[in-house]
Amino acid sequence: MNSLTKCLLTRVNSPPNVPFQVTHPFVPSRSLPSPHAQTLFASFARGPKLAGVWRERWETDDNDFIDVDRIEGGPNAPVLVLLHGLEGSSRAGYIRETLHLAGLRGWSALALNFRSCSGEPNRQLASYCAGDYRDVKWCLSKLDQEGRTGPRFAVGFSLGGNVLLKLLADEPGLSLTAAAAVSVPYDLAACTARLDGRGLFSFLYRQWFLYPLKKKGLHKARQFPTALDAAAIRAARGIYAFDDAVTAKVFGFACAREYYARSSSGPLLRHIRVPTLLISAEDDPLAPASMLPLEARENPALTVVTTRQGGHVGFVEGSWRAPHYWAEQQVLHFLASIAARHVLPGVMPR
């Protein structure tokens, strides 16, 4: 592959006040050339073994709980808050990879499990959705109480990226130094239409998400029989139908359409003021880069990186035997460039 072709694989739109260049253009693994191969391999195959990780359970004010996995860096180290995607967890490969890279830099990190995603059902009716950032905001306030002095960063993947971007847009005074979001479903209605569409891969992705969602929904219907219709949950054959029967009702929306319209981060990107990196692939089968509103590139706080290939939270380089995960590397590179402006003793911003 010649240098011109490589350069075309990665496009970077970096505001002048936040100059950023990727370490190298993304070149997909030869053994994983298709978007589905990238997406599925990254989902099933990765996740480094991590040392020094421990779990904490934080009791919430509404008699529920949030489980977080943590690593501890130096006393003044940057703190990284990680948000997983739909039906993911802190054990997802992309979360573990980011924890690993943060640990190599001597940073502290906290991987939040959205309610019901840590391996144990939460107590209350509501768990999580693409537009509900209250638990993330609450977790950030918990970090405020710990008296940390280093820069604070947040990274969201897929649905977790949408949650993070909506939080950044709605809460401009948030105490975050910088953020990053990978493979974000900027338009929830369009992403759902892709999942609910025809074709083998749409069916596979849909079932991958729908099976655990319906299982959890039926559990909630048994817990709260007057709040949810178990028959409607069983009858749901797509993500839209499930969101109409469960998510919209639980979070106070009239229907799934209203939930998508009010929770999509795309229309809100112009309001973000925190330096934020956005990474998406043009061939993403669920949330292609084309869903990013054009006006987002005009926001001086946003650095937009798009690649021709990469799939959904894939971005796998190297070989399938020795893979490297490009997006996570770029996220840490971006945040380290911000951390370098806040260097304190005992911190490695590289």
Fill in the DSSP letter of residue 298: G
The pairs formed by 218-225 with CB atoms below 8 angstroms and a separation of 24 or more are 219/121, 220/125, 220/127, 220/246, 220/250, 223/125, 224/125
Question: Number of C-alpha atoms within 13 angstroms, CB side, residue 191?
Answer: 30
Among candidate residues 264, 280, 312, 337, the one labeled active-site is 312
In CATH, what class is 3-186+265-342?
Answer: alpha beta
| Of 143, 129, 130, 131, nearest in space to 174 by CA | 143
Structural domain boundaries of the chain? 3-186+265-342, 188-263
List 111's β-bridge partners, or say none: 69, 82
Tell me the pLDDT tens digit for each residue of 99-134: 999 999 999 999 999 999 999 999 999 999 999 999
Q: E-strand spans in 227-288? A: 276-281
Measured distance CA(135)–CA(277) in Å, rounded: 22
Measured distance CA(194)–CA(225) in Å, rounded: 31
Measured distance CA(4)–CA(136) in Å, rounded: 41
Tell me the pLDDT tens digit for each residue of 48-101: 778 899 999 999 999 999 999 999 998 889 999 999 999 999 999 999 999 999
Entry pTM: 0.93
158 is catalytic: yes
Amino acid in position 16: P
- Is the distance from CB of 69 to CB of 111 less than 8 angstroms? yes
Per-residue pLDDT at 349: 46
Task: Quote the percentage of the chain above a pLDDT of 90.
Answer: 83
Among candidate residues 90, 196, 284, 337, the one labeled active-site is 284
Q: Return the SS3 of 27.
A: coil
Measured distance CA(320)–CA(174) in Å, rounded: 40
Other CB atoms within a 10 A radius of the CB of residue 137 amount to 12
Amino acid in position 93: G
Mean pLDDT of the chain: 92
Measured distance CA(162)–CA(181) in Å, rounded: 8
| Of 254, 205, 229, nearest in space to 87 by CA | 205
Among candidate residues 108, 158, 263, 337, the one labeled active-site is 158
Percent helix / strand / coil, the chain, rounded to 5: 40, 15, 45
Tell me the pLDDT tens digit for each residue of 199-249: 999 999 999 999 999 999 999 999 999 999 999 999 999 999 999 999 999
Measured distance CA(134)–CA(73) in Å, rounded: 26
SS (H, E, C) 98-120: HHHHHHHCCCEEEEECCCCCCCC
